[in-house]
């Protein structure tokens, strides 16, 4: 079977209209599908994230909110529209759909690993130290005069900062200030200035032991390397940890 090519202006116009109609139909249903999927994925991610929506860095929660509201608005408009019309800027719309799918995949991937019950229980203050939690960090401060050596610990990728409380609690009980930064989107490389900020926030601490788990360890190593040639380096040591081992 052969497809007859349009020869006359009338045939060409009819063929073009049919082709455009197919593209418009595809875009119409693609927008419906992607926007609806966006509502589902962002809602699922929020439920899966759980308490970290409140206790984690706000960047991920803000992203989820923006995606959910945007997709809900587009989905509502698309499903209420019963007629398929010619779409302008079809190439840009196609690029937008691909970009939207990429954002939804990113949201799916960024769902963090939550803290276990023992770690959450370790987040409580007692007579030896107090736990202070903000949107950007967790600080364990001894109630007595703190040591001049503090501990700065970078979490691993996508890991709840509270997950390390049970392990690091003993250091706070021993008199050391312990600081755990909350990384934007759970990525340590987006929190590279956290150590510099920690130094200014805790002047009683003269030197720091830098620690990190997994990807956080890589950022910690970069921080330690940056100060390695400074005679007055604030870095007293390093700790690199992994789920099955601890190395110093």
Any idea what the CATH number is for the domain that residue 193 is in?
Answer: 3.40.50.1820
In this prediction, residue 157 has a pLDDT band, given cuts at 50, 70 and 90, of very high
User: Do both 123 and 97 map to the same domain?
Assistant: no
User: Do both 103 and 175 map to the same domain?
Assistant: no
Worst-scoring range by mean pLDDT, 20-34, 56-70, 134-148, 171-185? 20-34
Going by C-beta distance under 8 Å and a sequence separation of 6 or more, which residues neighbour residue 233? Answer: 227
Of the residues 59, 75, 109, the one at which a domain ends: 109
- For 193-217, the pLDDT digits (tens) are 999 888 888 878 999 999 999 999 9
Q: Is residue 4 part of a domain?
A: no
Worst-scoring range by mean pLDDT, 2-6, 68-72, 111-115? 2-6
Q: Is residue 2 part of a domain?
A: no
234: three-class secondary structure by DSSP:
coil
User: Do both 231 and 144 map to the same domain?
Assistant: yes
User: Do both 146 and 240 map to the same domain?
Assistant: yes
User: Do both 129 and 66 map to the same domain?
Assistant: no
**What pLDDT, on the 0 to 100 scale, is given for residue 61?**
97
User: Do both 191 and 235 map to the same domain?
Assistant: yes
- Domains: count for the chain: 2
User: Do both 133 and 103 map to the same domain?
Assistant: no
User: Do both 31 and 88 map to the same domain?
Assistant: yes
Contact status, residue 38 vs residue 63, Cβ threshold 8 Å: no
User: Do both 127 and 164 map to the same domain?
Assistant: yes
Largest CA distance in the chain: 92
User: Do both 96 and 150 map to the same domain?
Assistant: no
**Separation between Cα atoms, residue 64 and residue 62, nearest integer Å:** 5
Alpha-carbon distance values, 224 to 101, 152, 194, 214, 236 (Å): 38, 11, 13, 15, 9
User: Do both 197 and 218 map to the same domain?
Assistant: yes
In terms of residue numbers, what domain contains 84? 9-109
**What pLDDT, on the 0 to 100 scale, is given for residue 20?**
56
Of the residues 57, 82, 109, the one at which a domain ends: 109
Q: Is residue 76 part of a domain?
A: yes
- Inform me whether the pLDDT recorded for 86 exceeds 50: yes
User: Do both 196 and 95 map to the same domain?
Assistant: no
**Separation between Cα atoms, residue 171 and residue 177, nearest integer Å:** 8
């Amino acid at each position: 079977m052969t497809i007859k090519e349009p020869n006359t202006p009338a045939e060409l116009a009819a063929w073009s209209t049919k082709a455009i109609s197919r593209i418009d139909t595809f875009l119409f249903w693609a927008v419906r599908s992607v926007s609806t999927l966006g509502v589902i994925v962002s809602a699922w991610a929020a439920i899966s994230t759980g308490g970290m929506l409140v206790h984690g860095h706000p960047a991920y929660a803000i992203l989820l909110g923006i995606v959910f509201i945007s997709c809900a608005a587009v989905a509502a408009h698309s499903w209420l529209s019963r007629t398929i019309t010619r779409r302008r800027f079809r190439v840009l719309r196609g690029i937008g759909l691909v970009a939207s799918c990429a954002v939804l995949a990113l949201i799916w991937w960024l769902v963090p690993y939550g803290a276990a019950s023992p770690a959450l229980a370790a987040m409580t203050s007692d007579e030896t130290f107090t736990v202070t939690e903000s949107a950007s960090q967790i600080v364990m401060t001894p109630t007595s005069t703190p040591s001049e050596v503090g501990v700065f610990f970078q979490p691993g990728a996508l890991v709840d900062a509270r997950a390390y409380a049970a392990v690091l609690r003993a250091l706070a009980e021993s008199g050391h200030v312990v600081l755990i930064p909350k990384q934007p989107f759970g990525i340590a490389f987006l929190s590279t200035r956290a150590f510099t900020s920690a130094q200014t926030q805790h002047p009683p601490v003269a030197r720091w032991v830098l620690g990190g788990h997994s990807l956080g360890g890589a950022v910690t190593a970069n921080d330690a390397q940056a100060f390695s040639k400074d005679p007055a380096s604030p870095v007293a040591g390093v700790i690199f940890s992994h789920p099955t081992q601890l190395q110093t």
